[in-house]
Amino acid sequence: MGTHAPILAIAVPLLGGFATPLVARISRVLRDFWVFAIALFVAVCVGFVAAQVFAHGVTVYVLGGRTPQETLAPGAFPIRIMLTVDGMSAFMGLIAGLLALVAFPFALRFIPEEEGKTLSFTLSLLLLAGIVGLAYTGDLFNFFVFLEVTSIAACGLIGFRTWTSRAPEAAFKTMLLYALSGLFFLMAVAFLYGEYGALNLAFLSRQLRGSALDRVALALFLSGLLLKVAAAPLHFWAPDAYGEAPAAKTLLLVVNTQVSLYGLWRILFTLYGGVLDAGVGWLVVAMGLLTMVVAAVMAVGQQDLGRLVAYGAVSQIGYMMLGVGVGLVTLAGRPDYALVALKGGVFHMLNDALTVGLLFLCVGAVEWVRGTRDLGELGGLGHGLPEVALFFLLASLALAGIPPLNGFASKILIYHGSFQLSPILTAVAVLASILLLAVFARAFQGVFLGPRVEVKPELPWSFLIPMIVSAVGIVVLGLVPGFFLEQVVTPAAEALWRGRHLYLAAVLGG
Amino acid sequence: MIGNLPFVVCMILVALGLWTLVAKRNLIKLVIGVGLIQNGVNLFLVALGYVRGGIPPIYTLAPAGAPMVLPTPQALTLTSIVIGVATTALMLAFAVVIYRHKGTLDARKVRELRG
Amino acid sequence: MRGWLGVAAFLVAAGFLLFGAVALRPFGEPVWAEMDEHFNRFSQPEVAANNAVTAVVFDYRGFDTLGEATVLFAAVTGVALILRKVGK
Amino acid sequence: MTVVVRTITRVLFPIALAFGAYVIMHGHLTPGGGFQGGAVAASALAMVVVAFGAGSLAKRKGLLSGLESLGGVAFAALGFLGLGVTFFANVLAGAGGLFGNPVPYGPNPGDLNTAGTLPLMNWAVGFKVLAGLGAAVLLFALFGGEHDR
């Protein structure tokens, strides 16, 4: 189990996804149990891998090799696909496992049986496998394959509500852009393969010399992945996708976006770590700022609760890009500031997963009770659903970065790091946060305050437990951020900061 | 330049696909544009693997002594073709459902979700 | 406005791609091919397969193929999900 | 469809299936493999859908999706078979037994009983692709057929 944990975290949900339709033919109860057991298994595996990586450094697993650690062929070059898990990958895997534990139980009651529950669970498991695969793989073409696995599974889930006309439209738009992003990525891989005859990330990273062709490939990588992470001005698919997917599945879409962001960091920090200049860092910073401002402004006018929260989610991507982008700019000149900013950006990924996850769960609960997400028709739910109102308020405050919640803990690091680079960056980021707070205050008032509305069905426990888990996470991460920063976030941030040579050494030796 | 003509042709195919995405507004034509890009990339991958005077990398009844072309790009192309089929199938399914709802395939008319 | 932006993006992308194609090594003369030569030479002793491409597809890069099968499975599941009969 | 089309389909259907099976079976010896052979065999199903209408296969939809799941599970399970060494290790190659004959180095006439797990994976993938593409074509045809809404 120990040595095989990284591959089991990917292969078991794949196998589980293939088998889910068969299991569902036997019994529906068994299927629910099966799906939940696999999500639990994945969470255990990624936790185990993370503990291993944080304790002993980069873990390598060669697929089909004579031993899992034999990375090189006789000529001292890697030939097989390998998983390479460093601090950042393990951290990303942890987020995926955590949100799987939240999303799958919530979906058990949220998706009605007659609406294709089996198929949606199949796609969810495949999406989960793709996300973990993206986080762990150390091979560029394999990365592309998992990018497509997540794209297709995600779009199937976005188009889930096929009886409305909006869901297929959102899914078509998203699929078009995902396909384009995957093709850009594939073209970049093809260019690198044509030049260096290799596909292994670590090996290519050592070969890259910053030639003109490398830059063409970098441009293709950037355009592909920035499309997939919904960075402005390429963000227009994301609110539709997040808004139209069933709320329980939107959580997986959020992790999907985050893992694409992780792919961007992997390309920039590891693959191009040796030849990068600050210009790319500034590009990331600029797009991050643009994303948070544009998304916050667009959120103001939304009448649909799902889309409003979706814009909030998109804006948080901007904060991560700002944090890590600042780290990228200052990496060479002021490494100490770079580490602070990187910690902020990386920590914000975890916080964003929890807060945005909780917000979407609240949206899902509201929609489940009232059957609509239109702010004009909602109101007065605070009397009937006090717990949901409390969770929504908590998550909104955390999203806006109000102390002592977790959003504050990571945003203060981002502000601190970016202030050293330029106070203007910090000012813009703070303003966007305030705007978001205003938007969410309006949403809270519109949905939960007002004259009492009778709430018919009681919320089942399968809704409440995931919400309680996320809420506890938000509060704990906000009250004692130091422990998590030290144990989980710092290894991940350091993997980006100075971890490139460790990553290469784990694969190539020396 | 002349030596690279096959690569250039593949890229022209990709560019045609990109132009389709920019210029056309029919959902099916958008799918065709994505398909063009996919085919361009697949051709590019296969072209990368060619070795002058090479034979297929298969030993069954092969002539002795001839150089073999590179096998990896062929494997990658196989993967990428299947992925392309999957993408196309899913997009066409969405287009069919949109047509069922709206009675049109014009992207300008189906846009309910703006901004 | 939007149209011109699209045209500009198209021109930039096409320029990048054509430049990349021209800057690449000449057609038919790969410079670095250790990995592929290894596959061609060792597919018989290591995998016992005459067909090096199949050896790469199912053994050396078998995990890619599993991902590819997953993509196809996900797409068919997605099509079944989209085209199902619900909510008349 | 007309009688001509239906008759030709009746003749070609077994031939296409047999050719698909050949391409799958010889995947480790000659050009071809699971995906290609599966696609060839799926074209036979597509032919039936075109010639006889989707209704003729509508009852087989469950069979096709079950077969697809089975193929996927079999493929992943063959990967797990190597877990004693590493995931996807080809433990059957050159080990005697099933598909375990060694191969002489260099050009040779080819021996079907070689390549370890590769032929098994080819079959798993072949069935999966046959069922998957067939199911996709069938779903489209069935959806287009009912203009009742």
Task: Give A20-81 as a 3 state SS string.
Answer: HHHHHHHCHHHHHHHHHHHHHHHHHHHHHHHHHHHHHCCEEEECCCCCCCCCCCCCCCCCCC
* CATH class of the domain at B2-102: mainly alpha
In chain D, residues 43-72 whose CB comes closer than 8 Å to chain B: none
The C-alpha atoms of residue A158 and residue A176 are separated, in whole angstroms, by 13
Give me the residue label for tokens 């910690």.
A343
Query: Is pLDDT of B101 > 50?
Result: yes
Between C44, C45, C76, which is nearest D68 by CB? C76
In chain D, residues 42-61 whose CB comes closer than 8 Å to chain C: none
Q: Each residue of D35-48: pLDDT tens digit?
A: 899 999 999 988 88
Contact between chains at A193 and B37 (C-beta distance less than 8 A): no
Contacts of D139 in chain B (CB under 8 A): 93
Task: Give C14-81 as a 3 state SS string.
Answer: HHHHHHHHHHCCCCCCCCCCHHHHHHHHHHHHHHCCCEHHHHHHHHHCHHHHHHHHHHHHHHHHHHHH
Closest by CA to A140, choosing from A202, A89, A88, A220, is A202
Contacts of B47 in chain C (CB under 8 A): 27
Size of interface A-D (CB pairs under 8 A): 50
pLDDT score at A110 = 80
Contacts of A170 in chain B (CB under 8 A): 113
Q: Is D82 on the interface with C (CB under 8 A)?
A: no
Query: Is pLDDT of D147 > 60?
Result: no
The C-alpha atoms of residue A505 and residue B29 are separated, in whole angstroms, by 47
- Classify residue A178: in a domain, yes or no: yes
Q: Is A180 on the interface with B (CB under 8 A)?
A: yes
Nearest chain C residue to A172 by CA distance is: C82
Contacts of D109 in chain B (CB under 8 A): 60-61
The C-alpha atoms of residue A171 and residue C78 are separated, in whole angstroms, by 11
Average pLDDT, chain D: 82
pLDDT score at C88 = 39
Name the minimum distance, in Å, from the CA of B62 to any CA of chain C.
10
What integer is the mean pLDDT of C9-27? 87
Q: Is C48 on the interface with A (CB under 8 A)?
A: no
Between C76, C83, C88, which is nearest D132 by CB? C76
pLDDT score at C87 = 47
- Partnered with residue A200 across adjacent β-strands are A139
Residues A272 and A289 occupy one common structural domain: no
Between C19, C39, C63, which is nearest A142 by CB? C63
Q: Each residue of D47-78: pLDDT tens digit?
A: 888 888 877 777 787 888 888 888 888 888 88
Number of compact structural domains in chain A: 2
- pTM, to two decimals: 0.93
Strands (E), A79-220: 82-85
Name the minimum distance, in Å, from the CA of C8 to any CA of chain A.
14
Residues A281 and A270 occupy one common structural domain: no
Closest by CA to A446, choosing from A329, A339, A363, is A363
Best residue of A8, A22, A62, A79 to probe chain C, by most C CBs closer than 10 Å: A79
Q: What is the residue extent of each domain of chain C?
A: 2-83
Q: Each residue of D91-126: pLDDT tens digit?
A: 777 677 777 777 777 777 777 777 778 888 889 999
Q: What is the residue extent of each domain of chain B?
A: 2-102
Best residue of D86, D88, D127, D128 to probe chain A, by most A CBs closer than 10 Å: D86
Contact between chains at C48 and D88 (C-beta distance less than 8 A): no
Task: Please name the chains neighbouring A, where neighbouring means 3+ C-beta pairs under 8 angstroms.
Answer: B, C, D
Contacts of B75 in chain C (CB under 8 A): 53, 56-57, 61, 64
Name the minimum distance, in Å, from the CA of D133 to any CA of chain B.
9
- Partnered with residue A83 across adjacent β-strands are A61, A137
Q: Say which DSSP state D58 is in.
A: G
Nearest chain C residue to D100 by CA distance is: C48
pLDDT score at D2 = 85
DSSP letters spanning A154-181: HHHHHTT-TTSSHHHHHHHHHHHHHHHH
Residues A187 and A253 occupy one common structural domain: yes
pLDDT score at A93 = 92
The C-alpha atoms of residue A397 and residue A408 are separated, in whole angstroms, by 9
Q: What is the residue extent of each domain of chain D?
A: 3-143
Contact between chains at D86 and A67 (C-beta distance less than 8 A): yes
Q: Each residue of A354-398: pLDDT tens digit?
A: 999 999 998 888 888 887 788 777 777 777 788 888 899 989 998
pLDDT score at A91 = 92
DSSP letters spanning A369-398: HHS--BTTT---HHHH-HHHHHHHHHHHHH
CA atoms within 13 A on the CB side of A192: 31
Contact between chains at D87 and A25 (C-beta distance less than 8 A): no
- Classify residue A198: in a domain, yes or no: yes
Question: C-alpha C86: how far from its chain's center?
Answer: 36
Residues A333 and A427 occupy one common structural domain: yes
Contacts of D101 in chain C (CB under 8 A): 48
In a structure prediction context, what are the per-residue pLDDT tens digits for chain A, which is 510 residues long? 578 888 889 989 999 999 988 888 888 888 888 999 999 999 999 999 999 888 888 888 888 777 777 777 777 788 888 889 988 999 999 999 988 888 888 888 887 776 688 888 899 999 999 999 999 998 999 999 999 999 999 999 898 888 888 888 888 989 999 999 999 999 999 999 988 888 889 888 888 888 888 889 999 999 999 989 888 788 888 888 888 888 888 888 999 999 999 999 999 988 888 788 788 889 999 999 999 899 888 888 888 888 888 998 899 999 999 988 888 888 888 888 888 888 889 999 999 899 999 999 988 888 888 877 887 777 777 777 888 888 999 899 988 888 888 888 888 888 888 888 888 989 999 999 999 899 888 888 888 887 777 777 777 888 888 889 889 989 888 888 888 888 888 888 888 888 888 888 888 876
Give me the residue label for tokens 């997040």.
A242
Contact between chains at D86 and A62 (C-beta distance less than 8 A): yes
> How many CB atoms are located within 10 Å of the residue C87 CB?
10
Query: Is pLDDT of B33 > 90?
Result: yes
- Classify residue A253: in a domain, yes or no: yes
Q: Is B60 on the interface with D (CB under 8 A)?
A: yes
CA atoms within 13 A on the CB side of A45: 27
pLDDT score at A163 = 82
Give me the residue label for tokens 């920090």.
A269
* Host domain of residue A385: 277-479
Question: C-alpha A345: how far from its chain's center?
Answer: 13
pLDDT score at A185 = 94
